[in-house]
Amino acid sequence: MSKFAIAPHMRLHEWVAVEKGYFDEVGLDYTLSEELVGAGGQRHDLGDRVGAYQTFEKGRSCDISTACHWTVNVAAAAGHGKLFGGAYSVSPCGVFVPADSDVKRPEDLSSVPISVGYQSGSHYSTIQALEPFLPLDEINLSFADGLLFKRMENIIDGNIPAVSLFSGPYYFMEQLGFRKIVDTTFMMAIMVAEDAALEDVEKFMAALRKAQADIDLRPELYTHYYRDEFPERFHDQMDTRLFGPGERIVFEPYSRAMFEDSQKWIGEREIFEDGNLGHLGYDDAVIAAPEMADA
């Protein structure tokens, strides 16, 4: 029987679970996949209009992974895996500009290109956060800079005027003195491969629950793990003592209302150009933890 393949997603939990032996403790025979992860950052550079959804569409080579809940929602509804309904997480995210930028307020971002990942968390969450300040036609999203680390490098190198970043890069922006214009915190969801064993998924989540408690109690012991996912060129600049705990797993159901409301929100903003948000409803797209089956 093959090992349960886990794709870390720029958060601390998997690394804490390995360090503490929690995966072994729950009896999970696992391997960490390098899907979208690498010290050189190359796996984060997928190009213009290729983001998290497209990796699900193509097929990820892992049993379990994480992405923004909007993308996991649509991908699961399209049959590219199953959304695990027993938990979700919340990640800090924000739109940043250089310290010397003329942009001071969210309203100043009108028509300014904001670098985001296509159909990824930064795409949806930037719209969500800026709608209270700007008409939709004045929110100017740029998809030309690929995913997370390429966007981070481009704002540091002075190539772009504004960027949406989450997790470790979010804290690195703060450390370097970039100005956060608006907080765009968003939900993540868990995608399970069609052929993954539910028993292994439950073991995985049990290990992450233990890791979450450790992170809540002593986050400063674990923020050094962010360094392992950053491009090497930034390692000497990083002071992970200044970084926060990042994404937090919430062990509550991703409910039917969340699923359906998110589908409606995505459709109203025409984020998927063909309007196809998948043909499967909640009951067929979502795997719920047994005790949460009726949520």
Q: How many helices (H) and strands (E) does the chain have?
A: 10, 12
Longest CA–CA span in the chain (Å) reads 57
The H-assigned helical ranges of 115-187 are: 121-130, 148-156, 167-176
Q: Which two tokens stand for residue 21?
A: 């032996």
* Span 239-255, pLDDT tens digits: 999 999 999 999 999 99
Q: Identify the segments of the chain with pLDDT beneath 50.
A: 36-46, 292-295
Structure letter (DSSP) for residue 221? G
Domain with CATH 3.40.190.10 in the chain: 4-88+188-292, 93-183
Contacts of 71 (CB under 8 A, 6+ apart): 51, 52, 53, 56, 119, 120, 121, 124
Q: According to the model, what pLDDT value does residue 293 have?
A: 39
* Span 212-243, pLDDT tens digits: 999 999 999 999 999 998 999 999 999 999 99
Q: According to the model, what pLDDT value does residue 34 have?
A: 67
Q: What is the fold of 4-88+188-292?
A: D-Maltodextrin-Binding Protein; domain 2 (3.40.190)
Highest CATH level, class, for 93-183: alpha beta
Q: What torsion, rounded to 10 degrees, do the Cα atoms 170, 277, 257, 201 define?
A: -70
Q: Answer yes or no: pTM beyond 0.85.
A: yes
Long-range contacts, stretch 130-135, CB < 8 angstroms, 24+ apart:
130/95, 130/106, 130/182, 132/106, 133/105, 133/106, 133/107, 133/109, 133/182, 134/106, 134/107, 134/109, 134/110
Q: According to the model, what pLDDT value does residue 57 have?
A: 75
Q: What torsion, rounded to 10 degrees, do the Cα atoms 70, 144, 183, 40 define?
A: 90
∠46-54-45 over CA atoms, to 5°? 10
Residue 114 to residues 31, 77, 129, 160, 242, Cα–Cα distance (Å):
36, 28, 13, 8, 25
